[in-house]
Amino acid sequence: MAEEALIVIDVQNDFCPGGALAVEGGEEIVPVVNRMIEATPHVILTQDWHPAGHSSFASRHNGKTPFETVEADYGPQTLWPDHCVQGTKGAAFHPELEWTRAELIVRKGFRPGIDSYSAFFENDRKTPTGLGGYLKERGISKLTLVGLATDFCVAYSALDAVRLGFSVTVAMEACRAIDLGGSLAAMIGEMEKAGVRLS
C-alpha cells in the first residue's frame, strides 16, 4: 500500500498576524493542521530560512518596495519585506503548532541569491531541496499539503510534487493565501490543470 505523508508548509510566526509578511487568517489553520498531524503517519515540515539581506528582500534593492517584481537570473522575482531571517523569532514555527512529530524539517530559501517557494526546488525550478528523493526512498507516494501561503509556497510545492510523480492533495481549509493581484485564482487554476486534488 502506498505510504502517505502530510507536508506542512511554512507555518511560521512571520506569516501569521503580527509577523513581517502576515497572511490574513494565517493562525486560524493551526488547530486544523494539528489535527491532521495527529492523524497522519508521516509528517514533514518546511521552514523558510533566509540569511539576512536575502536577494528577495525589497530592502536589498534601491528604490524598490515590497511586492514589486524584479527580473532575477532565474526569471521574475516578487520582492518581499524582510522575513523569516535565520534564527529570529519570525522564522520560528507558530508556538501552537504541534511540530515535534515531524520526521523531517526542510529549510528553504537559505541560498542568498535565489528564493525558494517550493518544498522541492529553488525558484530556478532546477536546484532540488532533496525532499523528492527522501520521499521516494521511503516509499511515500501520496502527499497532502497544508500551510502558508496557498498561492505561493503551497501551490509551487504541489505543482512540483505532481511533476515528480506524486499523488497530491491540497487541503484548502488548512491553507491561507496572500492573494497578490489575483494570484490565488491563478494558482488554483494551475493546480487544477496539473491534476492536484483540492479538498
What are phi and psi for residue 24, nearest 5 degrees?
-55, 125
Q: Is 108 a catalytic residue?
A: yes
Catalytic residue among 16, 153, 160, 175: 153
Catalytic residue among 48, 82, 108, 160: 108
Rounded CA-CA distance 89/91 in Å is: 5
Q: Is 124 a catalytic residue?
A: no
Rounded CA-CA distance 176/192 in Å is: 17
Q: What proportions of the chain, in percent to the nearest 5, are helix, strand and coil?
A: 30, 30, 40
Cβ-Cβ contacts under 8 Å for 189 (sequence gap 6 or more): none
| Active site amino acids | 10, 108, 153
